[in-house]
Each structure stands twice: as C-alpha cells, then as structure tokens.
Amino acid sequence: MSIATVNPATGETVRTFDELSPEDTERRIADAARAFASYRTTGFAERAGLLTRAAALLEAETEDIARTMTTEMGKPLGAARAEAAKCVKAMRWYAAHAESLLRDEHPADADVRDSGASAVRTHYRPLGVVLAVMPWNFPLWQVVRFAAPALMAGNTGLLKHASNVPQTALYLGELFERAGYPHGCFQTLLIGSRAVEAVLRDPRVAAATLTGSEPAGRSVASVAGDEVKKTVLELGGSDPYIVMPSADLDRAARTAVTARVQNNGQSCIAAKRFIVHADVYDAFAERFTAGMKALSVGDPMHESTDVGPLATEKGRADLEELVEDAVSRGAAVLCGARRPPDHPRGWFYEPTVLADISADMRIDQEETFGPVATLYRVEDLDEAVHRANHTPFGLSSNVWTRNDEDIARFVRDLEAGGIYINGMTASHPALPFGGVKRSGYGRELSGHGIREFCNVTTVWQSAD
C-alpha cells in the first residue's frame, strides 16, 4: 500500500513516504513499553501539564496543520481550522478533568460490611501500550479524542493512521514529544494495513482502538479476540434524521444541509437518511433540496467553499456506484447525482438528494460516504421509528419535533448511541460517543472514554 499525500482537489501526488521496516516498528513498540513502565507512575498534575503544553502548541500551529489536513483529505479550510480548535478544547478538558474522572470510588460501608473489610475501593490503573488504528476523515480529531484520555490515564500510544494522511500522522507523533512527553509515550507508525496484525499480536501491546470501516473493525476485533485484548470500535453509520409535523421546518431544513455535507459528507455521524412525516414531506423536501443546490463546490482552500472533493478516487467511485444503482432501480434525483462539470480535476461530486428509495436499492442499507442524501416519506411515528431502525448501523440519530410524546417514544425506541433532538449530532469531550449494532462497541470521550483503557481494580483491605 502506498503511503502518500495525494491532493484530492487535483489528483496530484504531493509527497510519498517509506513504510517503516519491521525492525523500526519493533523499536517503537519497545520504546512504548519502556515509556509505559515509568510514565504510568506519574501524577495527574504532571500529565495535565504535558497535555496542556501540547494543546498550546497545536493552538499556535492551527493554520499550518489545517492546511496540511485540507491538502491531504480535502476538507474545507474553515472546517480544518475548526477541527484543530476542537482538539485543543478536548485536550484542555481532559487535562482539567481526568483526575476527578478517575478518582477512587468507595462503596457505602453498609454494602460491604459483611465482606470482612476495613476498607474497600475501586481504583483505576492504566492498561499499557494502546494501538490506535485511525481513519483519514477527521485526521486530527479522531486521534486526539483517543490520545488525550489515554495519556491522561497513564497509558502510552502507538498510532497507525490512514495511509493517505501521513503528514498529519507524523505531526501528531512529533506534537506530543515537543510538548515534553517522555520518549516513546506517543509514536506514529507509518505502516500499511497488512502490518497491523503483527503489532496487535505483540504481547507488549495491551489493547486497541479503531475508528473506520466495518471490515477493518472486524479484522482488528478478530485478532484482538484471539489474543484476548480489549478493543473499542467506532465504525460506520447511516444516521436517521427524522422530521415530524411539529418541527420548525426552516431550522430543520437548514440544519439538515449542514448535517449531511459536513466534512464533504464524509462523516460517520453525518445525517444520511432523511425520514420525513407525510404532512410536512413536500415542504421539507423543497427547502432541503434548495439548500443542497445552493452549496458552493470547489477548491477547499478557498474560504467561500462549502463542499470540497472526496478524499480518494475510490471513495468517489464507490459513491457513484450507490447512486447509479439507486437511480437504475427507480430513485428520483432531486438534485446532483453527477460530477460537477466545472471541476474536471480532482474527486468532486455534487451535493445530491435522492427520493423514492426502495428496499432493493443498495443505498437503502449501505453507508453513503459523501454528499448524498436519501429522502423517505413516512405516515406516522411508528413508521418513522421502524424506518430509522431499519439499518445494520446504530451510531447516532437526529429527531425534529416539539411534541413531548414523540420525544419520549424516540428516546425509548431508537437504536443508536446518541439521540439529538432539534439539533445536529456533534461530538463533545464531556459526552460519551459510540454506537450499537454494526457501528461498533465501547465509548470514547467523557468519563466513559477515559475508563475504557483502564484496569478497573478492586482494592480490599482486611479488618484485621
């Protein structure tokens, strides 16, 4: 597999990199294990100081790393700056809150009196070296949302990043070392996907986290299961965006456009299936389609661009196949469904809205990773719930209604790791993030995320 920066706006190869040799990979695993042996004993104040310095460096270098991300995967420059700012926020949040999130827990005396203990507590200890296998779509954020809590918990990290964002990957490895972390605490491995299994099977690697495709998740989970190692998986999503009759249609339609095309439509938590009650379907479809048509598609380095190119040529080809299959089976094209004629270079695709979706279309069950939305008309709340859950995925969901009974029903019955009411799904350091079904398992962010890679230890002390 080629490890290279290829500008998706032009298709030009900017820079190529050699893959680490097995010997170099071995040295980095050994460095991570040695670093863990001492780093695990540091206090929260020391760890917080290191992470705060890393946040300050990133904040000062936002413009440079934003341009690197845009060059490598095509997100609009403004979105890249926002991604860097979000990382800074998360790093500072964990620096401030990790100690309280991992504070010892003490059961009530009455609950453990019959155990014969004079003292009992639950103590959180780091697991060790954690391997992170990360995707290209949020090349900074996906890594930081793992690294910040893992490092604050006392773990060390090895990053295997996507092969099309090597410069961002190298920046991350250098960032933590420049911030003063002991050598080996966080390192980038420029390796291909075929080399991941050997790293994961290494006995010095304690656990793994992966954000990416379902096949990649299955592969990592299979190896980790064979080795009996902890994993956290955040995989694909086909999030429903439900609009009920009581919704504020103007707000719902405006937000729907952003929810669909964020990151050029390449986000696991982007709304993808728009499920609209028949009473407001036509009005919503008109507003939503007009909003999608009005988006500016172009050079992601231009401040006025709303939607840049897809990150890879294969990604665009896969998206085109889904759209062509749907259209051939009767889907109606309300806008888009083509490459923009004024952008012959690069991997651009017009914002697209498809209606009249049926169960025989691949797009009904497969994730659309690009600026393509599917519209569904439903007759009542029961059908909305059924349609929303009729997917192998369960990452997040969006509900637009001002009816309290509707809200209670959706909160009870939607099969998803998140339910966002009258707003757009977005991750936040204080909120747990993750999914169910084929969207993966485990949680990132919040206290749940920092405790995923901890040894939850019962400490029992005799009364004698």
Beta bridge partners of 5: 15
Q: What is the pLDDT of residue 463?
A: 73
Q: What is the mean pLDDT of residues 25-41?
A: 98
Q: DSSP state, 311? A: S
- Phi–psi pair at 313, nearest 5 degrees: -65, -40
Amino acid present at 49: G
Smallest Cα–Cα separation from 203: which of 23, 31, 33? 33
Q: Report the distance separating Cα 448 and Cα 453, nearest Å.
A: 10
Instruction: Quote the longest CA-to-CA distance of the chain.
Output: 81
Do residues 118 and 461 touch, judged by C-beta distance below 8 A?
Answer: yes
Question: Is it the case that residue 108 has pLDDT exceeding 90?
Answer: no
Segment 177-220, tens digit of pLDDT:
999 999 999 999 999 999 999 999 999 999 999 999 999 999 99
Give the span between the Cα atoms of 453 and 442, in whole angstroms: 10
What is residue 165's predicted lDDT score, i.e. its pLDDT? 98
pLDDT of residue 2: 85
Q: What mean pLDDT is predicted for residues 219-243? A: 98
Please report which helix (H) or strand (E) contains residue 79, including its range.
helix 77-101
Per-residue pLDDT reduced to its tens digit, 237-263: 999 999 999 999 999 999 999 999 999
Please count the other Cβ atoms lying within 10 Å of the Cβ belonging to residue 19. Answer: 18
| CB atoms inside a 10 Å sphere around CB 176 | 23
The predicted-structure confidence for 422-463, as pLDDT tens digits, reads as follows 999 999 999 999 999 999 999 999 999 999 999 999 999 987
Encode pLDDT of 112-142 as tens digits. 888 888 889 999 999 999 999 999 999 999 9
Rounded Cα distance, 179 and 56, in Å: 9
CA nearest neighbour of 134 among 118, 158, 151, 113: 158
Average pLDDT, the chain: 97
Spatial separation of the C-alpha atoms in residues 184 and 173, rounded to whole Å? 10
Percentage of the chain lying above the pLDDT 70 cut: 100
For residue 285, pLDDT beyond 60: yes
Length of the chain: 464
Tell me, what's the pLDDT at 110?
80
pLDDT for 414 equals 98
Q: Are 102 and 125 in contact (CB under 8 A)?
A: no
Cα–Cα distance list, 160 to 177, 455, 464 (Å): 17, 23, 50
Give the pLDDT confidence of 43-97 residue by residue, as tens digits.
Answer: 999 999 999 999 999 999 999 999 999 999 999 999 999 999 999 999 999 999 9
pLDDT in tens, 182-194: 999 999 999 999 9
Question: Rounded to whole angstroms, how far apart are CA atoms 265 and 262?
Answer: 5
Question: Which pLDDT score is estimated for 261?
Answer: 98
> Using 50, 70 and 90 to split pLDDT, how confident is the model at 1?
low
Residues designated catalytic: 234, 268
Average pLDDT over residues 168-177: 98
C-alpha distances out from residue 230 to 158, 223, 301, 305, 451, Å: 15, 11, 40, 41, 12
pLDDT of 330 above 60 = yes
> What kind and span of H or E run contains 420?
strand 420-421
- What average pLDDT does this structure show over 389-394? 98
> Which residue type is seen at 80?
A
Distance CA 182, CA 184 (A): 6
Contacts of 348 by beta carbon, 8 Å cutoff, 6+ apart: 9, 297, 298, 308, 309, 310, 316, 339, 340
Gap between the Cα atoms of 293 and 19, Å rounded: 42
